Every structure is written in C-alpha cells, then in structure tokens.
Amino acid sequence: MDQIIYSLTELAALRAAWRAAGLKVVLTNGVFDLVHIGHINYLKAARALGDRLIVAINSDKSTRHLKGPLRPIVPAMERATIIAALRCVDAVTIFAERTAETVVATLKPDLYVKGGDYGNGNAIDETRLPEARIARAYGGEVRLLPFHEGYATTQLIERIVERYRHPPQS
C-alpha cells in the first residue's frame, strides 16, 4: 500500500474493505502541529488497540479556529505527510470542520480514541468531544488514552520562543 493519505471518500471505501476483512479499526484526530514524543507515544498506544489506525488531521483553517491565528506552524499537507510516515499509522485524512464528527460518522471506527485531556475525571467530556456521542450511537467504543503532562505543542512553542528571545551568551 503506497498511498496513505486519502480523501474521506477514498478512506470510506478502504474502511469498508477493512471491515469486510474483520479488522478492528481505531480512529483518532488532532492538529499534530510540531510533532513531538507525546504525539508519537499517543499514536503508538492508539495503534496497539486495533488492527488499523486512521488519523484525521485538522485543516489549516480548522486549526486556526481551534488554536488561534498563529497556528498551525506547519501546513496541513505537511503535517499529514509526517504522520503518514509513522509505522504505526495506516491511513491519514484531512478534515476542514471544527470537529471530526463527520469523519467519525462516515468511517464508523470500531474504536475512537483521544487523549485523557478530553475527560472529566474518568468520564468523557462530550461537550469537548462531540465525536464520542456519534461513535456510541452506532455501537462504537470510545476510549481516552493517558495524557502525559509536559508533552504539548503549546509548551514546545513557548520553550522555543523563550530560548530564542534570550539566547545564551557565548
């Protein structure tokens, strides 16, 4: 399989083939701007929960809506290409909406996963994660993976800005 970045329509056909083959499909989504070890660990953990991992990437416009006018740092197609290069990822798509509700409704993954920061204690915060309601409606499972403090793109950006604002004197 050479192609790994798909339109949602192409991915729906691939998902149907995986379903027919009895493969458990896991879906997650996010911005994945400035990919770091937290992202890698999260994606590897998500992939370990099934036979195939699909990653839906927020478009640039969607990212600006969620993260503000200075983001993304890396354009959507570049972010998708980086994520697609990871061994644990089987397919990538880019979505333009604010949430991945349409992606979840179209692909109907067996398992929809997000980071633990989308929870409220042990409960999933559906106001922040409306995709969960859709997955549950068709019988899909929703799971939050542990969130590890200190691994966030915003913190990485802040560290870069601070270091380059006050570089060490040689």
Q: Does 77 reside within a domain? A: yes
The per-residue pLDDT for range 62-97, each reduced to its tens digit, is: 999 999 999 999 999 999 999 999 999 999 999 999
Structure tokens at 17: 């083939």
pTM: 0.91
Within a domain: 138:
yes
Tell whether 38 is covered by a domain. Answer: yes
Classify residue 2: in a domain, yes or no: no
Does residue 41 sit within a domain? yes
The dihedral over CA atoms of 6, 10, 12, 16, expressed in degrees to the nearest 10, equals -110
C-beta of residue 86 within 8 angstroms of C-beta of residue 55: no
Query: Is 148's pLDDT higher than 70?
Result: no
In a domain, 1, yes or no: no
Per the structure, the complete domain to which residue 141 belongs is given by 8-165
pLDDT in tens, 7-47: 999 999 999 999 999 999 999 999 999 898 889 999 999 99
Asked whether residue 148 is assigned to any structural domain, the reply reads yes
Residue 50 covered by a domain: yes
The set of residues, in sequence order, having a beta carbon less than 8 Å from that of 123 and lying 6+ positions away, is: none
**Which DSSP string corresponds to 100-151?**
SHHHHHHH--SEEEEEGGGEETTEE-TTT-THHHHHHHTT-EEEEEPP-TT-
Q: Of all residues in the chain, what percent carry a pLDDT higher than 90?
A: 72
Q: Tell me how many degrees the CA angle 121-145-151 measures, rounded to the nearest 5.
A: 95
According to DSSP, the residues that pair with 58 across neighbouring strands are: 95
User: In the prediction, which pLDDT does 164 show?
Assistant: 87
* Overall number of domains in the chain: 1
Mean pLDDT of 125-139: 91
Give the CATH number, domain containing residue 90.
3.40.50.620
For 18, half-sphere exposure in the C-beta direction (CA atoms, 13 angstrom radius) is: 22
